[in-house]
Each structure stands twice: as structure tokens, then as C-alpha cells.
Amino acid sequence: MASLNVGNLGEYLREQRRNAQLSLRQLADAAGVSNPYLSQIERGLRKPSADVLQQVAKALRISAETLYVRAGILDEKERDELETRAVILADPSINERQKQVLLQIYESFRKENGFEVSGYADEASYADTENADDVDDTDATADGPRTADGSDADPKDHPSS
């Protein structure tokens, strides 16, 4: 069989497998693929599907997007954009509204810099009903309003409604 043009996917997979201290058989079992098939992928004789790459990535505990790029399924720039979004969405320290606002800001910067806006920030999967335009210079807390620099606002300057 002639070697297919799958970049350096096979070499990369072999390196990742060895770093994980897994035999070819162990990785094949963990990924749910046959040992000969995985061997052919590592030698550049087979081009795996995105599903197989995802299974292998999960078994190796690495990014599936990285494997997609190496296999020529995904463009490097698309991967970077997807990974940026994934990191924002996975951050447990910010709430869903904050994630949506951050993604909208990210999209606006990309658009300003001449990159195509993907529209991921508008998807309902992480859209929140609150509007990002509601943010103002003060931060109302349980202790009362604060100014933009974080100091307490004088209550007489901000009468309650």
C-alpha cells in the first residue's frame, strides 16, 4: 500500500501513544478500533474518519481538534478559534451571561481585525436571556452600589428608585 497524504498524523499519534506509555494494542482497545487498523494509521497507510480520530483522542486524552488539523480535516485557524471558544465555555469561574458577553467581544475583535465572524457567539446553546448592553459604570452588590473603581458609592448620590 502507498502512503496517503495525511500530514504527519501517524508519527504524531505514535509519539502521543508512547508518551502515554500505551502499547498499540492498549490504545486500539481504549479507542475501540482494531489493532491492525491503528497500526496502518500510524504508518500513514490509512486515513481515519473524524469519528475514529475523536475516539483515539479521547483514549489519549488529547484534543481531537489537533488530530483533525494533522489529518487535514480542520484548518489550523478554525482549530484555534474553536479552542478559544471551548476554553471560554468551559470556564467554571464565570457565569453563562459572562461567557456570552466574552464571546461577543471576541467576535467583534475578530471582525474588526478582518476575520470572518462565525456566529458561534449567537448560538442558543450558550445564549442567555440577559442583554450585554445592560452593563453600566456601577456594580450593584448586596452591600449597595459601587463606582467603577470599586469604592462604595455615596447613597445620597444614588437615590433608590
The predicted-structure confidence for 114-136, as pLDDT tens digits, reads as follows 876 554 444 433 333 334 344 44
0.75 exceeded by the pTM? Answer: no
DSSP lists the bridge partners of residue 146 as 139, 152
Three-state secondary structure call for residue 144: strand
Q: What is the pLDDT of residue 62?
A: 86
More confident residue, 134 or 17: 17
Three-state secondary structure call for residue 83: helix
